[in-house]
Amino acid sequence: MKSEWPLWEIFIRSQHGLAHRHVGSLHAADAEMAIKNARDVYTRRNEGVSIWVVKSADITASSPGDREVLFEPAASKIYRHPTFFPMPEDVKHL
């Protein structure tokens, strides 16, 4: 019998308008319990307005070994980076 609860990845939206951010992971028997546990573990200090939970096993990750193939070609193409625009100071969350 498997006695360990599955691992869940926790995403919290800290305020309206922002995207959910990964904040950490925890163990729970099911999604409902994961939400409750996330509330207690990660939002005790008023951090959030919304919680997402995803089973860690359901996340497919890129392999660290593929890093060069996947990401290096982008590094030399500076024209793809929007670094040539001045950023207005008043615009938040850009």
> Per residue, what are the HEC states of 41-80?
HHCCCCCCCEEEEEEHHHCCCCCHHHHHHHHHHHHCCHHH
Segment 18-77, which members bind another protein (CB under 8 A)?
26-29, 32-33, 36-37, 39-41, 44
Q: Please identify, using beta-carbon distances, which residue of 29 and 70 lies nearer to another protein.
A: 29
- Kindly report the CA angle at 71 between 66 and 76, in degrees rounded to 5? 140
- For residue 18, the minimal CB distance to another protein (Å) is 24
Q: Which is nearer to another protein, 12 or 26 (CB)?
A: 26
Q: Does 16 bind another protein (CB under 8 A)?
A: no
Instruction: Give the nearer residue to another protein in terms of CB position, either 16 or 44.
Output: 44
Structure tokens, 73: 């070609």
